[in-house]
Structure 1
C-alpha cells in the first residue's frame, strides 16, 4: 500500500511528526517556508550571540524522553539537560527584594511559609493536588486524540468527575486566592496561565497542575539552547529518511472530490519562482491552523471556517527583545519574571476589548548565558525579553537597533528601563551592544500566526482538551493537524505529543496513554 506523507511546517511539531511517520514506514516530505527549521523555536545568531527566538523553558522532561525513546534513543543521548537552580527569580513592583524559586520542593515550601504564615502547609496541599491532576492529565487527556470523547471516561476519571467539574468551572485565579493571601505568592502560582496563552482569571483551575512542574519537578535547560532540540529532532527525521525542503511554501492543498468523500492527494509548493506538486496519501499540517483552514482549503471544505475563529481566543501577542549586553549581569537569574502590582489591569489590557499594550507591563527575561557560555561572546551576556501584549498585528513589526515600528520600540525601551530599575542595573541601556525586536506583525508574516499571536489559541475552558480544535479535518480525509493550534495545546511538550497523536490517529489507536516504547513500525489501519 502506498504510504506517502507531506508535513507542512518545520517547527517542533512538524519535525516530530515527520520523524515518527518515517520511523513507522511512511515516505515523508517536510516543507518549511523559512530558510531554517524551528518555527517558533528557531534560532537567531549575530556577532557571536545565539538567541532562542521563542521557547526558553523546558518543563516535563519525561515527555521529551518518551518521544526520543519511541525513536529508539533517549533524552540523555540527544540533549545535555541541566536542572536550573534557582529555577527562576521573581521581581515585584514596589518590593525591594526578589523571590527565588528553587529546584527543591522542600525549599519552595519553606519559602512560601517564610512569606505568609501557614502558606507552607497550604503549598504542600496545593502541590499534592497539582501532581494528582498532572498524572491524570498525562494518563487520560494529553495523549488522547478524542476521536471518541467517551474513551476518556475510564473508572479513574469517572471517580473524579465531581472534583474535575469544580476544577474546570472555577478559574485558576480564584483557586489560588482561596488558599493564599500574599499577592506575591498569588502571582507566582497564577502566572503559569500565561504559558498557556491566557490569564489566571480565564484559565480553568485544573491548570494548577502547572505549579507542580516548576515548584516540584523543576525547570530545565538544554545546553546549547533550544536550537539543540531542533537539531536533534531534525537529525532523527533525516536519519529515518525524511526529505526536508526549506524556503518552500505550500500554496494549495490538492483535493480529490471524485469519491464518496473529498480526500487530500498532495500539495502545490513554491520555492523561489518554481512551483511543483508533491503527491501524498496524508498531509499533516503542523503550522497555524487558521492559515491552513482559511487559506489553503476552499470554504466548503473548512472544518474551522472564519466564523468559528471569530468566537475563539487567540491568546496573547508578544514583543520580543534580543539584547547583547557588555559585561556581566549577576542581578538576573537564568529566568527572571517581572510582575506589576496591578495584576488584573495588566491582563485586562491584553485580553479584554478594547485591548491595549499595558503600561507598565509584566515581563519575562531570560539570561541563558548564566548557564551556557556558548550563547554569548566572552565578556558579554545574552538577554531575551518577552513582553505579553494583545494579539494584534497593528502593534507592528520589530527591527535591528531601534528600527522597528514605533509601538514595538516603545515597548522595548520601557521594558529595558523597567529591568534596569527593578533589578538594580542602572547602566543597562548603555551596555547594550546588540538589539533586535520582534512584534506581532512579525509573527503574522513569518509564521502565519492567527492575529499575530505568539503562542497559539489560549487554554480557556472552551479551548482545552476535547473542546480544542481536533487533529483531523472532518471534511477532508487524510488531512491531519499538529502543533499548538490543536490538541493537546501550547508548549514544546504539547507539540511533541501532538505529533504522536497524528500517528495514533493514523493507526486507529484510541487509547488515552502514550504509545509503547520503542515504536513498533508498520502498525496501521
Structure 2
C-alpha cells in the first residue's frame, strides 16, 4: 500500500484521492484554505447563497462514469434539473434575444429563422460535433499519451485527415464556413471562452462543445455546485482518506530523483514534513513547477512559461437583487458586436479590459429557490479580462480595487441596458467582486488566470501538461492545468488518469466500472 500525498482539495484533488483510496492506497489530502473545494466555492450573505466558481453542468456521462467507479451514481449523489431553454443570448445593437434549447429541432428552428438553410446546417454541425465527441471520449480524453500506440488504431487512423484539419483549422473559420450570420457564428464560437481561449485560437476540434449544450443538454445540481464538491468529499472520506485543511504546501521533497513527500505550513504557521511514496499535485502546474519543486527537478524553463498562454483572467460579480428578473434565464450571455476587438483586448499583444464586454450571467434562482430569499434573485456575472493580477482584487459592497469595481459598475449598467432592466443597480442589496489578483493569491493561479491554460493548439491533448512528471519519479499531476484540460468533467478525467498511471494502465479509454482493485505496491 503506497502512502500518497495529494496537494489541493479542489474537485481534482478530492476525486484523485477517492479513486486512489478505493484502490487501496493510504491517502492524505493537503489543502491551503480552510475549506475544501478550490474554485468550486460558496459564499453566503443576507439569505443569498452564491456559487463562486463553475456554474455549467455539462458532459453528464463523465460524472456518471466517475460515480460508478466508486460504486454509486449521479442519481444517488445529486438532484439534477435539466434547463430548457438551455440559455439566452443578448446581442449588442439587437432588440431581440435568442433562446437556445436542448431539443436539437427547436434550436434548428431558431437558426433557420435567422438564416435560411442554417437549421439544416446546424444539424450537420451537431452530427460532426457528436462524432468528434465520441472519438475524443474513446481515444483522447482518457488518454495520458504516454503510449503513442494508443492512437494507432483503426478508428483514429481512418479519420486522420479529418482530425488533422480539425486540429489546424481555427474554430472561427470552421464555423464561418458553415454559417453567414454573425450571431450564429458567435453562438457556436463562444464556447472557446470556456476553454480559456478565443474562437480564432481554439482548434476546430473543439466544435464538439456544441454537442454538450445543444444535444446532451445543460443541467443544474439543486443546492448549487457546492453539493457536487461536498458529495465527492464524502466519497473521499468514506474510503478512509484524510483531509488536512489550512495546510499550505511549501515544497515537494525530491530525493535521488524521486518524490519522497511534502513540507507544509499548518494553521499556526509551523513547518511540518510528511513522508510519502507518491505525490499528486492538483495545484496550478505553473505554481507546482516554479514554487514547489527544486530548480533541478523542473521540466520547463522560465522562457517556456513566458511563451505559454495562461488563459483569460476574470472579474466575478455576485449580486443579490430585490424583485424578479424575467429578462434573464438561468444562463444568459451578452455578446458585443465587435467580436474580434473584444477578444483582442483580452488575448492580444497589448491587453486591456474590454468595454463593453462579452460576458456571462448566471441566475440560479431561476431553478433553485434555496439560493435567494423569497422575491429576490441571485446573479453571478463572469467578465473575461486579461490574465493580469495587477488589475486588482475584489471586495464586498464596492470595497475592491478600483479597476475591478469599475468593471463591475460597467457590466451592471450593460446588463441593465441590454436586457431592459433600468432599475437593476438600485435593486442590488448584496454585492461582492473577485478579480485576477484574488485568483493569484487564493489559488496560486498563473498570471491570475481564472480557468487555466488556454486550449490553443500548443496547449491541447498531448501538448498540454502531463499526468506523470518527466523529471521526478512518483510525482503526478491532475486538475485543469494538465490533461485533458479545463472544466469540472475534465478535472474528473484527470483524476482517473492519475489512477490509471499509478496502476501502470496506459490505455486510451476509461477504467472499467465499478472500480476493480488491483494489487498495489
Q: If the length of structure 2 is used for normalisation, what is the TM-score?
A: 0.99
d(CA) in 1 for partners of 2:295 and 2:40?
31
Do the aligned partners of 1:202 and 1:460 also contact (CA within 8 Å) in 2?
yes
Which residues of 2 match residues 191-202 of structure 1 at below 5 A?
A: 191-202=190-201
Do the aligned partners of 1:149 and 1:466 also contact (CA within 8 Å) in 2?
no
Match of residue 433, structure 2, among 433, 437, 459: 437
Do the aligned partners of 1:301 and 1:476 also contact (CA within 8 Å) in 2?
yes
CA deviation string 1:98-141 (max 9, x = no partner): 00011211111111111100001111110111100000000000
d(CA) in 2 for partners of 1:329 and 1:432?
12
d(CA) in 2 for partners of 1:322 and 1:389?
16
d(CA) in 1 for partners of 2:189 and 2:356?
18
d(CA) in 2 for partners of 1:6 and 1:449?
21
d(CA) in 2 for partners of 1:391 and 1:441?
9
Give the structure 1 partner of residue 287 of structure 2.
291
Do the aligned partners of 2:12 and 2:494 also contact (CA within 8 Å) in 1?
yes
SS at match of 1:123: helix
Do the aligned partners of 1:172 and 1:202 also contact (CA within 8 Å) in 2?
yes
Do the aligned partners of 1:299 and 1:305 also contact (CA within 8 Å) in 2?
no
Q: Is structure 2 residue 429 aligned with structure 1 residue 420? A: no
Give the structure 2 partner of residue 359 of structure 1.
355
Deviates more, 1:316-325 or 1:270-279: 270-279
SS at match of 1:310: helix
Which residues of 2 match residues 236-247 of structure 1 at below 5 A?
A: 236-247=235-246
Q: Is structure 2 residue 67 aligned with structure 1 residue 68? A: yes
Which residues of 2 match residues 264-413 of structure 1 at below 5 A?
A: 264-271=259-266, 272-413=268-409
d(CA) in 1 for partners of 2:375 and 2:135?
46
SS at match of 2:279: strand
Do the aligned partners of 2:2 and 2:520 also contact (CA within 8 Å) in 1?
no
Deviates more, 1:294-303 or 1:305-314: 305-314
d(CA) in 2 for partners of 1:73 and 1:171?
39
Do the aligned partners of 1:12 and 1:41 also contact (CA within 8 Å) in 2?
yes
d(CA) in 2 for partners of 1:399 and 1:323?
12
SS at match of 2:360: strand
Cα shift at 1:304 = 2.5
The root-mean-square deviation of aligned C-alpha atoms, in Å, is 0.9
Cα shift at 1:306 = 2.1
Match of residue 258, structure 2, among 255, 263, 269: 263
Q: Is structure 2 residue 179 aligned with structure 1 residue 180? A: yes
Q: Is structure 2 residue 13 aligned with structure 1 residue 10? A: no
Which residues of 2 match residues 14-163 of structure 1 at below 5 A?
A: 14-163=13-162
Cα shift at 1:307 = 2.3
CA deviation string 1:495-522 (max 9, x = no partner): 0000000001001111111100000113
d(CA) in 1 for partners of 2:80 and 2:143?
28
SS at match of 1:322: strand
Give the structure 2 partner of residue 503 of structure 1.
499
Do the aligned partners of 1:196 and 1:458 also contact (CA within 8 Å) in 2?
yes
Do the aligned partners of 2:397 and 2:430 also contact (CA within 8 Å) in 1?
yes
Cα shift at 1:274 = 2.0
Do the aligned partners of 2:104 and 2:123 also contact (CA within 8 Å) in 1?
no
Q: Provide the aligned length of Structure 1 versus Structure 2.
A: 520
CA deviation string 1:408-461 (max 9, x = no partner): 011000000000000011000000001000000000000000000000000001
Do the aligned partners of 2:24 and 2:520 also contact (CA within 8 Å) in 1?
no
The 4+ residue runs of structure 1 with deviation greater than 6 A are none
Structure 1's 43 and 60: CA in aligned 2 closer, same or farther, altered over 3 A? same
Cα shift at 1:391 = 0.3
Cα shift at 1:273 = 2.3
d(CA) in 2 for partners of 1:374 and 1:26?
38
d(CA) in 1 for partners of 2:304 and 2:239?
37
Give the structure 2 partner of residue 229 of structure 1.
228
Q: Is structure 2 residue 210 aligned with structure 1 residue 214? A: no
CA deviation string 1:221-258 (max 9, x = no partner): 0011000000000000011111011111111211112x
d(CA) in 2 for partners of 1:139 and 1:59?
18
CA deviation string 1:166-190 (max 9, x = no partner): 1111100000011101111100000
Segments of structure 1 that go 5 or more residues without pairing to the other structure are none
Do the aligned partners of 2:284 and 2:445 also contact (CA within 8 Å) in 1?
yes
CA deviation string 1:448-504 (max 9, x = no partner): 000000000000011000010111111110110000000000000000000000001
Cα shift at 1:523 = 4.3
d(CA) in 2 for partners of 1:287 and 1:149?
27
Do the aligned partners of 1:293 and 1:305 also contact (CA within 8 Å) in 2?
no
